[in-house]
Structure formats: C-alpha cells, structure tokens
Amino acid sequence: MIDSKENPVEWSQLMSELEDAHENLGDLIKEMGSKGSIDIEGYSIDMAHIYAHLNRAWNSREFNGEMSDSQWEKYRSFPLT
C-alpha cells in the first residue's frame, strides 16, 4: 500500500479520489433527502460516478508512478484482485 511519505503524489491522488467520492455521496444523500425521490437515470449516473472514484482509490492503492489515461480508465472498473 502506498503511503504519504514514500509516495506523496500517489497518496494525494488516492486521497483526492476518496474525498471526491465522499463529496458526491453526500450531495446525493442531501438531494434524495430533500426531494424524497430520485429518478433511476439520475441515480444510476450519480452512483456510477461515486463508484468510479471508489474503484480508482481501491485499484490504485499500490500504484506507484505516473498514471496513463488507459490505466486511469482501467482503475475505474470494479475492484481488481
């Protein structure tokens, strides 16, 4: 697992993904709570966005170096083993 001392850039990216997921989930919860409902299309888009952040955080937990566009896309998929 990367850490903030040995991998400061990668750690910053990991934290950014988690912070974005947290923010987006909070926004979704507030929206659903205030409206009392949500359409399936909006819910699907919001959840996919949140999952993409969480998946990148999980899948890149040991990644060290500069991430290519293809790696960024690959890491947004559901967790790799």
In whole angstroms, give the CA distance from residue 48 to residue 69.
19
Q: Which H helix or E strand runs over 23?
A: helix 8-35
In whole angstroms, give the CA distance from residue 65 to residue 55.
18
> Per-domain residue ranges for the chain?
8-75
Range from 23-37, 40-54, 60-74 carrying the lowest mean pLDDT: 60-74
Instruction: Please report which confidence band the pLDDT of residue 48 belongs to, taking 50, 70 and 90 as the band edges.
Output: very high
Mean pLDDT of the chain: 94
Average pLDDT over residues 53-81: 89
